[in-house]
Amino acid sequence: MPELLDGNRVRDEIKSELKPRIASLISQGRPPGLAVVLVGNNPASEIYVRNKIKTCEDLGIISETLRRPESATTAEVLEAIKGLNARDEIDGILVQLPMPPQIDAKRILLALEPSKDVDGLHPCSIGRLVEGLPGPRPCTPAGIMEILRRYRLPVAGKRAVVVGRSDLVGKPAAMLLLHEHATVTMCHSKTPDLPAVCREGDIVVAAMGRPAMITGEYLRPGAVVIDVGTTRVEDRAQAERIFRGSPEKMAAFDKRGFVLMGDVHPLDVVEKASAYTPVPGGVGPLTIAMLMVNTVASAESRCREC
């Protein structure tokens, strides 16, 4: 059986390591502060923000959520960002994506004070990532690297295939793997013979957002598989095809009315991989954990400058 890479375990380790750092900051005058800017009523974003708030409470980080209505303009959100940039008690600002279509999200991200960019998406942060300089790393890719490191899975000298080229995951994940001396291939929907390219990977990072797209033919035996995708599948026929009619899986589907599924076929990965991240419970928990790491690091840096 392949090794299951438990993101919840890694998340808990990270939280335990953060607690004394936060206690030290509190002893020096104040706890770290994180502000989340949320525009509209996206249900997935609402859940994500609630989880961030809960994690902040667990750790002793002050959290604040600035909500703006679905009808908000770019200028209104920019004004909110300006106010947060000026507040000394706020160490990190997270702009929750996606935003409504009338909002120019790139302008919003550019308006962030770079030292408070705890999502690692400001051009200054991306530049530091490319150059290999210290700075906040995009949270999900940073979580991927933590899983590999803490499970002692070698990266240097390995062939890594990243499927997906998003600014949030694919591109920064490829860069982080490259910095750890992997030979990296980045793939996307236009890559010819994608299964053959993926089979070259000792490490495969799947970040396409297409449930169960990466089947057994995409994986070489013994590959380490990192599944970033999370899709809520509500079509029973689709779930039945993917789980090959498994009575246990279909009973769970019928109980909930849906199943969360990654980009990697959940049965094929068990047959082919040497280690893999499950969905849910793999990469997902690390995204918020690394946001907390970035927030605490920002607070420490700002405290040293005081």
Active-site residue set? 52, 96, 119
The token pair at 147 is 């899983």
Q: In 10 A of CB 234, how many CB atoms?
A: 12
**C-alpha–C-alpha distance, residues 55 and 32, integer Å:** 13
* Residue 285: alpha-carbon gap to chain centroid: 8
CB 177 within 8 A of CB 155: yes
Under 8 Å CB-to-CB from 82, ≥6 apart: which residues?
111
DSSP state string for 225-261:
EEE---EEE--HHHHHHHTTT-HHHHHHHHHHT-EEE
Specify burial of residue 196 (Cβ count, 10 A radius: 0-12, 13-18, 19+).
exposed
